[in-house]
Chains A and B, each alone.
Chain A
Amino acid sequence: MDAAVAVKGLKKTYGKVEAVKGVDFEVAPGEVFGFLGPNGAGKTTTISMLCTLINPTGGTATVAGHDVVSQRDRVRQNIGLVFQDPTLDGYLTAEQNLRFHAELYGVPRSVVDDRLRQVMEMVALWDRKDSKVMTFSGGMKRRLEIARGLLHSPRVLFLDEPTVGLDPQTRSAIWGYINKLRLTEDITIFMTTHYMEEAEFCDRIAIIDHGEIVVIDSPEALKASIGKDRVQLQTGDDEKTIALLRDRFDIEAAVHDGQVTFAVVDGESFVPRLFADLGLPIRSVSVSRPSLDDVFMSYTGSTIRDAEAGDGNAWMRAMARGR
C-alpha cells in the first residue's frame, strides 16, 4: 500500500532562517499522524508545504501519491484542510458555505445533497444549516470547517491545531468526530498540535523542534522508551530529602509543584526501598508512568511549555540526562 504522505528531505528557508531543516517521514493510509512541537517549531510550515500553500526550498513530498509541486491540483483535490484561522464567509449560511466548497472541488452534483447532510450531521450542525455563519460561536465555526474539509471525501485531512482556542467540550467533541472518521471513512489524518493530551489520540507522533524531527513513534512506544517512572513525595523536609536521595540512591531530585520529584527505573519496587532507607518522614508518595510531557522533555531537553515560556524543570532534565 502506498504511503498517504511521503516526505524526503523537505526543507524551507526564509532568507537565512531555516524554518524546516530537511525532514523525512511517511504516513500510512488510515493513520492518525500528529506533529507535536512548540509554536515556531516548523509545524505549520511543514503542513503548508504538504497542502501546496507554499513551495518547498528543497526535498520532495507526495500526498495521496501526487507530488506537491508538480501535481498541485491533484494534491488539492485529494486533501481537506482545516486551518487555525477560520476561512468561512460569515455572510453566507452554513449550507451555502458548504455548497460553495462542493462546487469549487467539483463534487458530482448527484451526491452533493447526501454528502452535505452526512458531514453536517456528523458535526451536529444540520439543524443550523440555514443560519448565517457570523452567528456561530468559535467552536461551531471550527466544526463547520471540519465538515467542509470532509465534504469532497479527501484522502488526507490536514488539521492545523484543530482544537486551539476552543472550550473543553468542543475539544472533546472534535476528537469524537476524528475517532468516528477513522472508523467510517477511508481517510488519513495529519494534524499538528502542541497539546500533549491530544497527541495521545494519534497512532503515531513526530516530535518536531527547531525545524527538525527528533523522533517518530507511537505514543506508547515513546513513553516506554523513556523507561523511567516519575515519583513524587511530600515530606517534612524537602531539602534534606533531596540531599539524602543524592547520597544514598544517587538520584537527582527537585521540588516541583510543592513535591520532591524525581525519575527512577521501576518506580513501584523502588518505593519500599525508599521507605526502608531514607530515614525521614514521608507524608505521601505517588508513582506515575511517564507522560508525553516527559517524552517531549526527554527528547528535546525542555518541556513544550518551557519552549514557549522558558521555565526549567530539574527532574525532567535529570530524565533527559538519564536516557
Chain B
Amino acid sequence: MTAEVAGVRVPPMTGSHDLRAIKVVLHRELLRFVNDRTRMITMLIQPILWLFVMGTGLGTLVRGVIPGIDYRTFMYPGMISMTVIMTAMFSAGSIVWDREFGFLREMLVAPVSRGAIVVGKCLGGAVVATAQGVIILAMAGLVGVPYSPTLLVTLLGEMFLAAFTITAFGVLLAARMRNMQSFFGVMQMAIMPMMFLSGAMFPLANLPSWLHVLTTVNPLTYAVDPMRQAVFGRLDVPAQVDALLNPGVTWFGWRLPVILEIGLVAAIGALLLGVAITQFRRAE
C-alpha cells in the first residue's frame, strides 16, 4: 500500500491483547448488572424468603433439638451459596441471550481467542455473583453471625470461587443452547437437585446412606461446606449441635479438610472452563 493511511492502525496481537479482551467482556457484564436493578432485586428475594420465612418457620420446629443456635444461622451459609449460584447461572445464561440477539457474533468474529471471551464471561459472572452475595453477607448480624473481618474475607473468597465454577458450568451448558427457554429449563433441572443435595437447606449428618452418597458426589456440596465451616468456626455452639449441623463432608469415614474441598471446587471450575472453551472453539 502506497496511499496515505487515514485513521488508526491496529497493532499485531499479543497476549496483552487477549487480556484486554478478557477485561472488556468482564466490564460489560458489570455494566449490564449495574444497569439491571430488577434482576438484582429479584435474585435477592428467593434467598431472603428462604432465610427469614422458611428459616423462621422451620426454626420454631427444631428449636428443641439444636439448643443454643438459631436455625437461620445454620441456613445462612447455604443461602449465601444459593444467591451466588443463581446469580452466576443467570450471568452464564446471558450468553444464550447474546446469541439470540446477535451480540455473541460481534464477540466471536473479533480477532481474539475464544478462551479470552469465555474467561471474561466466567470472571464477569463470578464478580457479579459475589457482589450479589455481599448483600446477603451484610445481613449476617440479623441471623447472629458476627461481622468478623477474617470471616467476611474468607466467605468472599469462597463465594468468588463457587461463583466462578458455577458460571463455567453455565457457560458450558449455554455453548450449545439456542434459546433462553431451553437454557432455563436445563438449568432448573441441573441446579435444583444439586442445591437440595448440597447441604444448603438441611444438615448432611445422619442421612440414609443413599442420600449420603448423592451428597458426596454433588460438586456443590464442596462449595457450600467451606462456607458453613467458616461461619461455625466463629460461633460458640455445643459440640453435639456442631456435630449435627456442621458435620463436614466425609469420604468413607474420613472428614475432608476445607483446603481440599476448596481445591476440588477450583479443579472442577478449571475443568469446566476448559471444556467450555473447547465447546466454543468447535461451535463455529
Contact = CB atoms under 8 A, between A and B. Distances in A.
Nearest to B111: A76
A55 B145 CA distance: 58
Contacts of B11: 106, 108
A77 B7 contact: no
B24 interface: yes
Interface string B21-38: 101100110011001100
B103 A115 contact: no
A186 B6 contact: yes
Q: Which of B9, B35, B36, B284 is the most central at the interface, judged by chain A CB atoms within 10 Å of its CB?
A: B9
Interface in A19-50: 29-30
* A interface secondary structure, majority: loop
Contacts of B236: none
B109 interface: yes
Contact of A91 (B6, B7, B36): B36
B239 to A, nearest CB: 52
In the complex, which range does the number of interface residues on chain A fall in?
Answer: 35 or more
Q: Which of B13, B23, B103, B106 has the most CB of A within 10 A?
A: B106
A81 B109 contact: yes
A29 B2 CA distance: 11
B234 interface: no
Contact of A83 (B1, B21, B105): B105
A276 interface: no
A96 to B, nearest CB: 6
A53 B104 CA distance: 13
B109 A53 contact: yes
B105 A186 contact: no
A108 B98 CA distance: 26
Contacts of A86: 101-102
Contacts of B36: 91
Contacts of A100: 24, 27-28, 106
A107 B1 contact: no
B20 interface: yes
Interface in A151-184: 152-153, 184
Nearest to A90: B101
Given A73-B111, A184-B6, A103 B24 contact: yes
B106 A87 contact: yes
Given A89-B28, A91-B32, A108 B8 contact: yes
B112 interface: yes
A107 B10 contact: yes
A51 B13 contact: no
A185 interface: yes
A105 interface: yes
Interface string B109-149: 11110000000000000000000000000000000000000
Nearest to A181: B6
A106 B13 contact: yes
A132 B9 CA distance: 28
A280 to B, nearest CB: 59
Interface of B: 1-13, 17, 20-21, 23-24, 27-28, 31-32, 35-36, 98, 101-103, 105-107, 109-112, 284
